[in-house]
């Protein structure tokens, strides 16, 4: 089975490219060329049926929502409801990060019921099974990890976070440049522990061609995980982060040559004044591969409000090159997110993405804002709800106020500037 990138390189415009081009308001030929160059990816496993979306250069910024059980809280019905809420409020993808319960059944149900692309972190499943048996991470068998990658690909996972850049070399930079917060990536920490205890190289790096072979077979997009991403502002742009990035750039080139779609993950916690530089360096080192960022979170001091912190960083990152925002919820750093946390996290990231799209002038972002402004000028509330990023909350807040049935709102009443300017 040929992948989207191989078909694009051979001059073929696939049905997925046609669909995406129409929704993104670009020409199919332009999109085909961007995919061939590796600047755009369409994460869509051959075994997963849904309407595709693309990530990358010149396209609208996409938003991912993480869901999943934990050993402390395992309720599949609840996680499926979180998925539905995330998609309802505009998530373009779902990542199943489950670490509790029957992981195979959970993943199968999420893929079956998801109308958007689905991602995973395969090493979580292996580590969860080891711990359930009372075994240590050092006892992880690399063969089990590759079997898990293959199995998840067969099930229909569209993109996988694989921490291939956590190498003995990149880890050595952390030893000589200590961090405040150490390694905060679960996958990165697991691999470091395995590598240190066994005195061996990361199997995902050492046997990268094996990873490529599996992903090519099912057209799984590799999301090169940033296992050494900074988890504190004080650790941003340190040697460990940059060392891993250099390796990821090398792995991007190898994936493209092999015919596998690939994107790269980025930080993490980062002061606001470092984001623009980081995005530009990352894009340069990784030859304009699509970039997937968590946040970045611009302050470490706002637990309970990290969805806002992430939206601030995400907007700046997206303006300067990030293509895919992983949502951050109010529960970040505190607990497993609730249904309301998921909604708030998605909306915060959607606002960040839309704000960046307005600056980048892609899709219908500026048109949407213009139409909203015209509706406000005309005091046309129904049109305002139509163009709102969250129509439900806009309608509810207005209707439940003392001016619910009037053309003005309770803030200004009859002193409404628009009414007086128009002499209504």
Tokens 């960083």, residue located: 313
**Torsion sign, CA atoms 29, 32, 38, 39:** positive
Q: Sign of the CA dihedral 48, 52, 229, 97?
A: negative
**Residue 285: how many other CB atoms lie within 10 Å:** 17
Nearest-CA neighbor of 263 among 97, 96, 50, 34? 34
Q: How confident is the model at residue 297, as a pLDDT?
A: 98
The reported pLDDT for the residue numbered 1 is 66
Select the CATH number that applies to the domain covering 60-360 from these four: 3.30.465.10, 3.40.190.10, 3.20.20.540, 3.20.20.10.
3.20.20.540
339-368 core/surface letters (b: 16 or more CB in 10 A; e: else): eebbbbbbbbbbbbbbbbbbebebbebeeb
Given this model, what pLDDT does residue 423 score? 83
Residues with pLDDT less than 50, the chain: none
Where exactly does CATH 3.20.20.540 map onto the chain?
Answer: 60-360
Amino acid 176: pLDDT? 86
Q: Are 410 and 401 in contact (CB under 8 A)?
A: yes
């Amino acid at each position: 089975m040929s992948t989207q990138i191989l078909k694009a390189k051979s001059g073929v415009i696939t049905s997925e490219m046609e669909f995406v081009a129409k929704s993104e308001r670009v020409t199919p030929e332009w999109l085909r060329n961007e995919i061939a160059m590796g600047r755009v990816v369409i994460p869509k496993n051959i075994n997963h049926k849904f309407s595709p979306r693309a990530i990358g250069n010149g396209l609208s910024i996409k938003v991912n929502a993480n869901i999943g059980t934990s050993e402390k809280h395992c309720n599949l019905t609840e996680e499926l409801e979180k998925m539905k809420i995330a998609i309802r409020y505009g998530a373009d993808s779902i990542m199943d990060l489950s670490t509790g319960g029957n992981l195979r059944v959970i993943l199968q149900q999420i893929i079956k019921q998801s109308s958007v692309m689905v991602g995973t972190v395969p090493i979580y499943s292996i580590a969860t099974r080891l711990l359930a048996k009372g075994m240590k991470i050092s006892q992880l068998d690399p063969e089990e990890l590759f079997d898990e990658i293959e199995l998840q690909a067969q099930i229909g996972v569209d993109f996988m976070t694989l921490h291939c850049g956590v190498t003995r070399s990149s880890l050595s930079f952390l030893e000589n440049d200590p961090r405040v917060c150490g390694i905060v990536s679960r996958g990165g920490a697991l691999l470091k522990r395995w590598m240190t205890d066994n005195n061996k190289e990361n199997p995902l790096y050492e046997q990268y061609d094996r990873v490529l072979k599996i992903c090519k077979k099912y057209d799984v997009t590799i999301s090169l995980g940033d296992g050494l991403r900074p988890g504190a502002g004080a650790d941003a742009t340190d040697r460990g982060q940059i060392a891993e990035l250099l390796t990821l750039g090398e792995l991007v080139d190898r994936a493209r040559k092999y015919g596998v779609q690939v994107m790269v993950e980025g930080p993490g916690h980062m002061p606001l004044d470092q984001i623009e530089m980081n995005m530009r360096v990352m894009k340069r080192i990784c030859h304009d591969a699509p970039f997937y960022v968590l946040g970045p979170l611009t302050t470490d001091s706002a637990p309970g409000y990290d969805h806002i912190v992430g939206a601030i960083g995400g907007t700046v990152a997206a303006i300067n090159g990030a293509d895919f925002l992983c949502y951050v919820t109010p529960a970040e750093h505190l607990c497993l997110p609730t249904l309301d946390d998921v909604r708030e996290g998605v909306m915060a990231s959607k606002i960040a993405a839309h704000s960046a799209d307005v600056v980048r002038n892609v899709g219908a972002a500026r048109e949407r804002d213009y139409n909203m402004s015209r509706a406000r000028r005309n005091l046309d509330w129904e049109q305002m709800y139509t163009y709102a990023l969250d129509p439900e909350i806009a309608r509810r807040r207005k209707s439940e106020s003392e001016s619910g049935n009037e053309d003005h709102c309770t803030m200004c009443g009859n002193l409404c500037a628009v009414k007086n300017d128009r002499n209504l």
